[in-house]
Amino acid sequence: MNLYCNKQTLIDAVGKVGHAAMAKSALPALEGILLKASGSSLFLAGYDLDMGITTTIEADVREAGEIVLSAKLLGDIVRRLPEDNVFIGADEKLVTKIRSGKTEFNIMGISAIEYPEIPSVSDGVGFTIPQKTIKSMIRQTLFAVAQNDNRPVHTGIQFEIENNTLRLVSVDGSRLAMRSEAIQSEEQMHFVVPGKTLNEVLKLLSDEEAPMSLAVGHRHIVLEIDGYAVISRLLDGEFLPYRKAIPQNSSTIIKAKTRDLINAVERASIVINDRIKSPLICEFRDGQLTISCNTQIGSAFDIINIEIDGNEEEMGFNSRFLSEALKNTETDEVRIELSGPLSPMKILPSSGDSFLFLVLPVRLKR
């Protein structure tokens, strides 16, 4: 294998596909990036048996071939090369030369035969959606994905497609996040994508209206974004029947400025740390929200103005869960609906229901 390519293009490709390579593995090839040179292009892939990222860049290929190189080592090398033009060549003994200007590295590669086959989705159901839209949807639900694997299916986000609507839902036992958007698709389906995969997808998505495409098969999904393909297994299992957890009626409706709420929660949380799990006590009454907290460190007390319609309430909440929900609203004003001191708090946009966050209350000691 012998080829020349542009340094910055190679840096970008190695950096992004390298996120899918394993840091440590009993199979050394999985710690590497697969390079395949042919025609006028260089194909690069990283794969950890759950998720793969692939791309193809332009290259002046003098001799076709393929090899696997350490993702970390290759990334460290190409970022430090001095000139724009890069030569990569591998001989029959897998010794790989990387040269730019007067700088040259010789490193050992791994035979491409040892690299596992990356899954494909040839008969999947697909649709497209603007990158800006799906980026917002993932960001507004990823925070509520479960971090442990007691129920592995809850470590992902459920995608639901029905009636020309795409809905993303995540749950972790103490909270729920749901985000909906209209799309052009007649399909009726649902599947769960690992949170780890979607975290990498976020890094590839732009804030532009340019489209990205998804193709969903029985066991895998492929997301294509600006020349990159992310291939991931889907999570098996029965997702929580979350609709039963959403209160259908509200006894109190509150409107408040999102930034005011976030600031008050963060101020009151100063006296809470990882060892001290005291809840924030929230009192909704007389056009005000009073937030207080008492811990071994000290106490905090804060008041902000709100609009309130309905019953007065006093409730306790996990400070991190409440803060993360508010920070992911992406709106200047929110609507909060309460159904009693032991029912979940609903956080929605000031009008409409494009997103819905549930935060379970903490029972207060009397």
Same domain, 140 and 232: yes
Distance CA(94)–CA(114), nearest Å, equals 13
Count of Cβ atoms closer than 10 Å to residue 348 Cβ: 19
| Any domain includes 169 | yes
Distance CA(340)–CA(55), nearest Å, equals 52
Same domain, 232 and 308: no
Same domain, 252 and 236: no
pLDDT at 74: 98
What is the sign, positive or negative, of the torsion defined by CA atoms of 146, 149, 216, 19?
Answer: positive
Domain boundary among 74, 94, 114: 114
Same domain, 129 and 238: yes
| Any domain includes 354 | yes
Distance CA(117)–CA(45), nearest Å, equals 11
Domain boundary among 114, 144, 171: 114
Same domain, 94 and 109: yes
Provide the domain count of the chain.
3
By residue count, the chain amounts to 366
Same domain, 263 and 223: no
Same domain, 14 and 28: yes
Same domain, 110 and 25: yes
Range of the domain at 208: 125-242
- Determine the longest span between alpha carbons in the chain, in angstroms: 79
Distance CA(21)–CA(29), nearest Å, equals 9
| Any domain includes 364 | no
Same domain, 187 and 83: no
Q: What is the mean pLDDT of each run of 10 residues along the chain (366 residues)?
A: 98 98 95 98 98 98 98 98 97 97 98 96 87 97 91 96 95 95 90 97 96 94 97 96 94 97 96 85 96 93 97 96 96 97 96 95 84
The two three-digit tokens of residue 132, written as one number: 């800006």
The two three-digit tokens of residue 344, written as one number: 């979940």
Same domain, 180 and 208: yes
pLDDT at 94: 97
| DSSP codes of every residue in 185-253 | ----EEEEEEHHHHHHHHHH--SSS-EEEEEE-SSEEEEEETTEEEEEEPPPS----GGGGS-S--SEE
| Any domain includes 313 | yes
Same domain, 234 and 251: no
Token pair 């994905």 is at which residue? Answer: 145
| Any domain includes 119 | no
Exposed (0-12), middle (13-18) or buried (19+): which is 211, by Cβ within 10 Å?
middle
Distance CA(109)–CA(91), nearest Å, equals 10
| Any domain includes 305 | yes
Same domain, 156 and 92: no
Distance CA(233)–CA(342), nearest Å, equals 37
206: domain CATH number?
3.10.150.10
Q: How many Cα atoms sit within 13 Å of 357 on the Cβ side?
A: 27
| Among 309, 317, 324, 307, CA closest to 341 | 317
Sheet containing 85-90: give its strands across: 60-63, 2-6, 85-90, 95-100, 103-108
| Any domain includes 173 | yes
Exposed (0-12), middle (13-18) or buried (19+): which is 34, by Cβ within 10 Å?
buried
| Any domain includes 365 | no
Domain boundary among 207, 242, 277: 242
